Each structure stands twice: as structure tokens, then as C-alpha cells.
Structure 1
């Protein structure tokens, strides 16, 4: 073999080794690529100006402790409710601060995923969906909540959780902020040379479940989004079974969109309109059946919630 052929063979072997090494690294670190747990509270002392706010600690099915906040309207009585799911790097204490504008006159539950904030455990798609369904059940069985009017709201990564929870539970309405078709599709575009479909466990394939959603669905996009390009949202929107509107928040990007006044007004307006509409007999029957069969998580350390929230 002449020198040029030996060099070519050597370069090919080196390229193959690098490709295999990179593939192995992606496979080994895929949880880090999909999830970016934030432990520190974004808001030190979260409190909604329009709600009574209290920290909540619940036990998941396997005993893992999940921590977050429950915001209850000041005016008593059964109220529409919102279950919120955050993004890849999102600690949800900011929701308690902004709930008065985002979710006026609505009960709100915002819980951190496993491994985020003061929640225990390790994040995984299967746990997020299972925990999300249990949180829905917990809300539906609370006295101050109208179980026929529970919306699920998900931002970015959380839009994939919201879609699957709304498929498994009779959600009244769905709000998806900067949603995607699937994490798998986004990963395949970013890692074009790797067999990512054989490596990625946490796929969040919302596009599979979108046609099954029966709840009125509202999509909000960022005006500029380099995390979830509009192409990925387009594919999801085309499959949604009950799309009400697909709108862009002016002067927003992927990171700023949840905090903007325009976003607050658009989400609050959509949910207020939806909650004011009559509930159909079929929807009421589905909710009654779900509540009757629910096994909600157990709330722990209710007498000293702040101590529980600091435990890891």
C-alpha cells in the first residue's frame, strides 16, 4: 500500500473512532442534553399578588418527594384551575410570583420536576408524565377546584409533558408555549451524522399524541426562537386535534416569552374565555369518571411545609 493510501486509511480510521466516541458520549450524556435541572429558586420568596400562596410537598407513586406551590384565589369557592409544566432549565417559583397576571381568579399548581428546585429524584420523561397525571388528580380532588375546568399549560420542554397529560386526563383546555413536534426530531437536526433515534430515550414525541387531544388548544410562539425553530412548531400545529389559535408574542424570544406582559395577557384572555364556556355533558361525564378513579398523591408535612421544601 503506497503512502497516500495508508494516509487515507488512517484518516478514515481516525474519523470512525471520533464518530464512535462522539456517539458514545451523546448516548451516555443524553439526560444532560434533554434536561438541565435548576436547583436554586428563581424567586426567593414566591407569592402571588392575586392568590393565597403556599408551598406544597407531594409524594409521587414511588415515594419521591415533589415540591412546588399552590396558588388559590382570594375569593372562596370552586374555581377553574391550571396545572403548569416548566421548561428544560426552569425552576417554577416565578409562576407563583406572576400567577396573578397569568392566571387571574384561577387555582394554580406549579411543581418542580424531579431533580429541579426542591424536588427529589432524577428527571426522566416517563416520570414527568406519570407525576403530571398524579398532580392533575390531586388538583381535581381539591375542594376549591372545579374538576370540570382544569387546564394544562406547558412551556418548551413542558409542552411535551402537557400534551401527554392532556391525552391521559380530561383536561378542559391546553396552552402550549413554544412547543415542538418532538425532542427526537430536534435532536436529529442537531446531530445529523449520528443514529440519534437509536440512542435517545427521552423523546417527548408530542406529534404522536397531538391528533388525540380533545381539549381546545392554544399555541403561543416566540417571535424569534433559535431553540425551537418555527418549523418544529408548524409540524405539531398541523396535527393538533382541537387547535383554537396559533399566535406569536411580539418582541419575544425563547427565554423571555413567559415573563412578558403580552404573554400574560394572551394566556389569561384565552383561559378566561375557555373557562366561561359551558361544559358539555360528555366532558362532564369524562371528568366524573376520572375523579372517581383517581388515586392522587399524598401531601406531606403539611404542618411545616417550609421545612419539607428545604429537605433534599
Structure 2
């Protein structure tokens, strides 16, 4: 006599929920781990000189070199000022491309301010050696500032520190350490984890990220005039970041809110004339 097989017991709802929760937790942990290992690739987008090296927009430009304290050889491009009194702009660029992509920005700044412009690359960008990290970006900016004041003989109080996007980090860091004429920030974030949170709200970036560039924590230590420009349609770094930086900055300061403008280098044509008036007024 045969007996019918009994059906297997049905798994409880609690068991199924726990199983799905464990699966989701493992998936989330995997995403966080990938993000942690790929952080540098997500932050820095260098273009080497082998990939692209554009001709300068200004005929007075010349390529220069300097050595950073960490041993990296850093490439730069220098446009002299109209007169020594005009000083110079030290331009720390954003996280993509290389210094040659800022040729038009440099030409516009020289035309509007009469100042010289020194562009420099971070490690692995353009012709520069090494690997990009927060610390190596600071070291590159330090080397560029030293070249500008020692070799080009620009008086420290005639140096405008300009940071574009990620370049705001090295510019703010320099402003806390060295004499300068003014600090200029263009579509710059409060901190890199804050910027990452905007794009990855589901990740614990404030705990996870090693690359910080905490501009908000430092800008209050900048004692010279501060000029900030940001477009309201910026989808890379929201304009609220610049608003918070402006609120934390010391006087004298000015915030140029560019209605309808995005994260675009072309906005130099909009902020450069306003910056010239700001410098004449507060940092003549």
C-alpha cells in the first residue's frame, strides 16, 4: 500500500521577507564596495596630452614646468600680464580634460582684467606626472603659486586665486595658506561628499569618501575679498552650494547669480567683467 507524498511546508512570510532583506543588503554592500574602490575614477577625469593638447588661444602664451613637493612634475601655461601692476590669476581647473581646454577662459580673463593667467594641471592631467588625489592636487597648486611668485615675480598680493568646480578645492586651500589679492570661485561645491550626495543620494558618501575638498569648512579662514559665480541651471553642482559658501565667507564678498546658466566654461564671458569691477572696488 502506497501513501501520497505530503507537500513541503510552505515557507512563512517572515522567512521570505528576511531572505529578500538579506539579498538587498548584500546588493547594497556590493554597490558601496564598488563605489569605494572606484572613487578616484569617479572624481577625476584627466585627459593626457597624448589624447588632446590644444593650441593656446592667446599668442603670448608659453608652456612652463614646475616641481611639486610630492615629486610630481607639473605642466603649466603662462600668459604674462599687460603690466606688472595688473598681477595674475592662478587658475585651478575642474576635474575633466586638461589645462588646454581652458584656453578661452584664460584669454577672456586677461582681456577683462589685464592680468596674467597661469593655468596648471593636476597629476596625470595633460603632461603632468603622477596620480590625482586631493593631496596631490594641493601640492600642484602650491607649486604653481610658488612658480608664479618666485619665477614670474608676481607679488603675492597681486595674485587672484580662481577655482573652477573641483578647482575650488585647491584655490580655497591656497587662500588659507598664502597671501593673495582675492579668491574667486566658479560653480564650486561646498565639499565633494556634499556634491556626491546630490548625484548618489542612496550612498553614505559623507562616511565613505576619502576625497573631501571641504571648502565650506575652510572658507571662513580666507581673509581677502571673495567673489563667487554660479549658474542657476547647473545640474552638476547645484547653485545652493555656492549660496552656502557665500554665506560662510567673510566680507567683502559678492555673489553673481547667473540665471539659466549651467556648468559651462563659457560663463567666463558673463562673470569676467563683473569680477573686474569687484576687484577694482575691493582689491585695487
User: Taking structure 2 as the reference length, what is the TM-score of the superposition?
Assistant: 0.87
Mapped contact 2:68–2:74 kept (Cα < 8 A): yes
Q: Report matched runs for 1:1-312 at 5 Å.
A: 2-40=11-49, 44-49=54-59, 52-73=60-81, 75=82, 77=84, 79-104=86-111, 105-254=114-263, 256-275=264-283, 277=284
Residues 259-268 or 177-186, more deviating: 259-268
Deviations along 1:21-79, one digit per CA (max 9) or x if unpaired, are 01101111111222111225766211415xx2110121111321111201113x56464
Mark the runs of 5 or more structure 2 residues left unpaired by the alignment.
1-9
SS at match of 2:155: strand
The aligned counterpart of 1:288 is none
Residues 114-123 or 127-136, more deviating: 127-136
**Which of the pair has more CA radius of gyration?**
2
* Gap change, CA 1:239 and 1:29, over 3 Å in 2: same
Residues 28-37 or 201-210, more deviating: 28-37
User: Taking structure 1 as the reference length, what is the TM-score of the superposition?
Assistant: 0.79
* Gap change, CA 1:103 and 1:111, over 3 Å in 2: same
Mapped contact 2:63–2:76 kept (Cα < 8 A): yes
SS at match of 2:272: helix
Shift of 1:231: 2.1
Greater relative contact order (Cα < 8 A, sep 6+): 1
Shift of 1:150: 0.7
> Over aligned residues, Cα RMSD in angstroms?
2.3
Residues 233-242 or 111-120, more deviating: 233-242
Mapped contact 1:139–1:145 kept (Cα < 8 A): yes
Shift of 1:5: 2.8
* Gap change, CA 1:91 and 1:266, over 3 Å in 2: farther
Mapped contact 2:99–2:119 kept (Cα < 8 A): yes
Residues 186-195 or 231-240, more deviating: 186-195
Shift of 1:248: 1.9
Mark the runs of 5 or more structure 1 residues left unpaired by the alignment.
278-312
Mapped contact 1:101–1:268 kept (Cα < 8 A): no
**Deviation beyond 6 Å, 4+ runs, structure 1:** none
